[in-house]
Amino acid sequence: MIHDILNIKTPAQEHAAALKSSYGLKNMGLRNLNRVYWNLTPESLYEEAIFRKEGNISHMGAFVVNTGTHTARSAKDKFIVKASPSEDNIDWNDGNRPISIEKFNAVYQRMLGFLQGRDLFVQDCYAGADPNFQLPVRIVTEYAWHSQFVRNMLIQPKTIDELYNFIPEFTVMSIPSFKGMPEIDGISTETFILLNFEDKICIIGNSGYGGEIKKAVFTVLNYLLPLQNILSMHCSANVDDNDNSALFFGLSGTGKTTLSADPSRSLIGDDEHGWSDDGVFNFEGGCYAKVINLSPSAEPEIYACTKMFGTILENVVYDPQTRIIDLDDEFLTENTRAAYPIEYISNSLPAKMAGHPKNVIMLTCDASGVMHPIARLTPDQAMYHFISGYTSKVGGTEVGLGQDPEITFSACFGAPFMVHHPYKYARMLKEKILKNNATCWIVNTGWTGGPYGIGKRMSIRYTRALLNAALAGKLADIEYYKDPVFGFEVPKHCEGVPDDVLKPSDTWGDKKAYEEKYLMLAALFIENFKKFTDGCPIEILDAGPNKKAKLNL
């Protein structure tokens, strides 16, 4: 590297190995490295990142980086090694595509050769706040800022002795400057995310997007924890003063982070959780919030985090003179992100663990503008909607996605990260709902008064009012009507929300157009669920929409 050729010391060079684990990188075959920087603090990582010209410090201290070509996850470039015994547990599909152990080893060996003579950064940390189910994870990165990203997103060991004696049970290596060879490796492009459950390693190449590291760890947990009867979930979670927690399922852009950051409740976590026999626990130590058009009035806590030292801002535009960021500028991508420790949210729960949920909320961003702002589900309906995972992908969250929302179905509200068959997760969800007497809701944070381009986005004020009422039990004994198509129960009234908002057809000027759009959406649900028919019992199939129903508006 150029600084070694010129004999220039890097800022953290002298203490790079001060917090080195006794279980070194040679155990993974890494040899002849230049220098390894172990478990550096945020301050040291800032200095290293600046020294290596990886990004810039913005006004107030957040670190701004450009992730390069990839400003979102590259879902189509993820492969899983097909080998015994894991192959019998994996639902092989377009999201879980197989790669042979021989192909994986060939890529890995080339990566090991590529890294000789180079610097690397290591963070030893944990995935999972519950000490009974924590996974020791080692993250090896090429970039210093990725190391800081990892410090924000995962859980840090509490003592120096833990670091010295740390032995990883899974390792993730992220090397953005290393490219795959599709014609030789059997992969789709030069970008790859390759998971090997037998050898307990994931390697990532040709992508600087921090979310790939985060979701690789999540995918590992989605494989391991259900085998221990722990439901792994793509959801945010918060809790009230009586230890009654709530879960918020949803894809990126549906409001998981925003709606769970409720000042009247304590935040458990914003994206990934487990549900064990003891309650819920966060997988992470931080938050990864989408910050495009972030409002200081509607989301003050998250907005404040964009100006804090230690926060990583991905692809956020800033003025190079004043260093002031512009959260409304989507020049680089609509998928701008902030990664920060959860402790930066003032009402976050330090333990990152809480009791069993009393409410389970499934968030959908309905671009067709016909879904109700809230509806109550039976446990079987909850399974149906959980497996369906209906929403609209919001621009930028995946490579190849345009600016306009795209109607989609993502099983378990996180299909790219789910390794087992969706019914396995759904069955566990129903069991836990029934055992803990939880109430299930589906909430539309998308459009009302018409589809995208005609209607308007659901008011966050109304959504918060509905959620507050549901979580406080105020919707338990009010009057409902049964939707003739989907069969779920819709409240007729809610304090702080106009009655016509609760009934979407009343917000449309053309009732006939509404009916056609609604029945079309129901047909899409039915068509999508056909691929799960063989794996689901009849009561789940019957919990879906009635294709012969009439709305009688």
Spatial distance between the Cα atoms of 343 and 273, rounded to a whole number of angstroms: 17
| pLDDT over threshold 70, residue 402 | no
Locus of tokens 């926060």:
311
64 neighbors 58 (Cβ within 8 angstroms): yes
User: With 80 as the cut, is the pLDDT of residue 398 above it?
Assistant: no
Q: Nearest 10 degrees: CA dihedral of 174, 180, 186, 188?
A: 90
Burial label for 479, CB within 10 Å (0-12, 13-18, 19+), is exposed
Q: Which residues pair with 137 in a beta bridge?
A: 125, 170
- Both tokens assigned to 474: 């105020």
Q: How confident is the model at residue 547 (pLDDT cuts 50, 70, 90)?
A: confident
Q: What pLDDT band is residue 395 in, cutting at 50, 70 and 90? A: low
pTM of the model: 0.94
The tens digit of pLDDT for each residue in 230-287 reads 999 999 999 999 999 999 999 878 888 889 988 899 999 999 999 999 999 999 999 9
Amino acid at site 386: F
- Place 539 in a pLDDT band, splitting at 50, 70 and 90: very high
Q: Which tens digit of pLDDT belongs to each residue from 16-59?
A: 999 999 999 999 999 999 999 999 999 999 999 999 999 999 99
Residue 335 has pLDDT above 50, yes or no: yes
Q: How confident is the model at residue 535 (pLDDT cuts 50, 70, 90)?
A: confident
Rounded to 10 degrees, the C-alpha dihedral 204/205/206/211 comes to 10
pLDDT tens sequence across 189-245: 999 999 999 999 999 999 999 999 999 999 999 999 999 999 999 999 999 999 999
What is residue 6's predicted lDDT score, i.e. its pLDDT? 62
DSSP lists the bridge partners of residue 359 as 246, 439
Nearest-CA neighbor of 485 among 529, 540, 538, 522?
522
**H/E element holding 314?**
strand 312-314
298 vs 7, higher pLDDT: 298
Residue closest to 271 by CA, chosen among 417, 402, 390: 417
Q: What is the 3-state secondary structure (H, E, C) of 416-473?
A: HHCCCCHHHHHHHHHHHHHHHCCEEEEEECCEECCCCCCCEECCHHHHHHHHHHHHCC
Q: 122 and 38 in contact (C-beta within 8 Å)?
A: yes
d(CA 502, CA 182): 51
117 neighbors 34 (Cβ within 8 angstroms):
yes
State residue 1's pLDDT score: 62
Place of tokens 């107030």: 60
Handedness of CA 340, 344, 347, 350 (dihedral sign): positive
Instruction: Categorize the per-residue pLDDT at 401 as very low, low, confident or very high, splitting at 50, 70 and 90.
Output: very low
> pLDDT by residue (tens digit) across 165-182?
999 999 999 999 999 999
pLDDT at 403 (0 to 100): 58
Backbone angles phi, psi at 152, to 5 degrees: -70, -40
C-alpha–C-alpha distance, residues 424 and 113, integer Å: 40
381-406 in b/e form (b: 16+ CB < 10 A) is: bbbbbbbbbbbbbbbbbbbebeeebe
DSSP string of 121-160, one letter each residue: EEEEEEE-SSTTS-EEEEEEESSHHHHHHHHHHSBPPSSH
User: First and final CA of the chain: distance in angstroms?
Assistant: 70
Indicate the burial class of 506 (C-beta count within 10 angstroms; 0-12, 13-18, 19 or more).
middle
Mean pLDDT of the chain: 94
Q: What is the pLDDT of residue 22?
A: 97
In terms of Cα–Cα distance, which of 448, 472, 316 is closest to 370?
A: 448
Q: Could you give the percent of the chain with pLDDT greater than 70?
A: 97
Tens digits of per-residue pLDDT, 82-111? 999 999 999 999 999 999 999 999 999 999
Planar angle of CA 190, 79, 425, nearest 5 degrees:
145
- What is each CA distance from 337 to 139, 187, 392, in whole angstroms? 20, 28, 19
Look up residue 190 and give its DSSP letter: S
Residue range 473-529, pLDDT digits in tens: 999 999 999 999 999 999 999 999 999 999 999 999 999 999 999 999 999 999 999
Instruction: Over range 408-423, report the average pLDDT.
Output: 95
- The residues assigned a catalytic role are 73, 215, 234, 252, 256-257, 271, 337
**Band (531; pLDDT cuts 50, 70, 90):** very high
| pLDDT value for 253 | 80
452 φ/ψ angles, rounded to the nearest 5 degrees: -50, 130
One-letter amino acid for residue 164 of the chain = Y
∠ at Cα 437 (432, 439), nearest 5°?
A: 95
Res. 392 pLDDT band, cuts 50 70 90: confident
The H or E element spanning position 315 is none
User: Across-strand partners of 497?
Assistant: 494
The tens digit of pLDDT for each residue in 431-485 reads 999 999 999 999 999 999 999 999 999 999 999 999 999 999 999 999 999 999 9
